[in-house]
Amino acid sequence: MKVQIINKYKIQWEDNYKKVFEKQGWDVAIARKQEDIDLDADVRIFMWADKMAVDTLNQVKDNRNIVFVRRYEYFTGAIEMIPWDKVSKAVFVNDVFAESFEKRIGGIKPTVIYNGVDPDAWTFKERAHGKKIAVVGYVNLKKNLPLAMQILAELPRDYEMHLAGAPQDGATVVYVNHLAETLGLNVTFAGQVRSMDKWLEDKNYLLSTAISEGCPNNVIEAMAKGIKPVVHNWPGAEQIFGPLFAQPGNKEINPNLVFNTVDEACVALSPRSEYDSDSYRARVKDRHGWGQYDKVLDLIMEAVK
C-alpha cells in the first residue's frame, strides 16, 4: 500500500510515522509541495488542515484521507473550506479544539490523539530542583514571554532563563532584553538549537507560558529527559498535563503540571514543590510514546477497509 504524508514542514515526528508505516511493508512518501502530492496514493495523511489540504481534497474522488488539525489552522478559514465528506478521520491533538470543532463544523466526529515522541531518543536521568529554566519555541507573541519574565522576576535573582528558538517577533525580543536589564534578570537567547537533547541536559525545568498550544512537543521531550514541566493553563493544557490517575488501587502517577498564576508557577519552580523525574518519563511512555503512532496506523487501517 502506498501512503503519502503531506507535510510542508520537516519536523522530527515525521520520521516516527514513517517507521511505523514501513514496518507494515508499506511504501511511504513525503510531499512538501502541492505538485508533489500523489492523487493515486492509497491513503493520504495531511499533517495540517491548510490550503494544501483544501486544494488536494477538492481534487480527489475518494475519502481515504486523514487530516490533522494541530492548532493554528483552527483559527483560519481553512476549517470551513475543507470538504470534510472526503475525510475519513479528523485528528486533533488538543481536546478543547476537538470539542469546539464538533460544534463549529459537525458531520464528522473528531479523534483526539496527542503528539508522540520516541522516548529512547531523549537522554534520561534522575534530576532535581535547580536554577536553570528552559523556554523552547519560536520567540513570538503566542509564547507569552511577558508572563515568563514576570515569573522570573518573582524568583531569586540567581535563577536563569534560557530561551531556545528563532526570533519571529522583534518587539518581543526587545521587550525581554529591556525587562531583563531593568530588573536585573539573567536571560539568555540561544537561538536555533541544533541538538535539543544536548541543550536541555543541564536544565532543571521546562517552562511553557504560551496563550495557545496544540500539544507541545517541547514539553513532552523535556519530560522524556526527566525534566520537570511547568505549563501555563492554555485551553487544553489541563486535559493533557493535568492530574492523571492509574487503575483503581494504584497511586496517582502524576501531579498537576499546570499553573494559573505567577505565584503557582514560582512554587512549582522552587524546592517547595515535588520533583519526580521517573513519573515525567513514565507519563511520556504512557500517553505520548509509540502508542500514539500506532493509533494513527489503526485509523489508516479503518480508512482503507
Do the Cβ atoms of 292 and 114 come closer than 8 Å?
A: yes
Q: pLDDT tens digits, residue range 195-221?
A: 999 999 999 999 999 999 999 999 999
Q: pLDDT tens digits, residue range 168-197?
A: 999 999 999 999 999 999 999 999 999 999
Determine which of 7-11, 88-92, 108-112, 190-194 has the lowest per-residue pLDDT on average. 7-11
Classify 2-116+289-303 by CATH class: alpha beta
Q: What is the mean pLDDT of residues 94-103?
A: 93
Do the Cβ atoms of 27 and 303 come closer than 8 Å?
A: no
Rounded to whole angstroms, the Cα distance separating 64 from 3 reads 10
Q: What is the pLDDT of residue 11?
A: 80
Beta bridge partners of residue 162, listed in sequence order: 134, 188
Classify 119-279 by CATH class: alpha beta
Rounded to whole angstroms, the Cα distance separating 24 from 26 reads 5
Strand order in 258-259's β-sheet? 186-191, 160-164, 132-136, 205-208, 228-232, 258-259
Q: pLDDT tens digits, residue range 21-61?
A: 999 999 999 999 999 998 889 999 999 999 999 999 999 98
The reported pTM is 0.92
Do the Cβ atoms of 217 and 117 come closer than 8 Å?
A: yes
CATH 3.40.50.2000 location in the chain:
2-116+289-303, 119-279
Q: pLDDT tens digits, residue range 217-270?
A: 999 999 999 999 999 999 999 999 987 654 444 444 556 799 999 999 999 999
How much of the chain exceeds pLDDT 90, in percent? 84
Rounded to whole angstroms, the Cα distance separating 183 from 181 reads 6
**Residue 288 grid cell:** 505520548
Rounded to whole angstroms, the Cα distance separating 50 from 81 reads 9
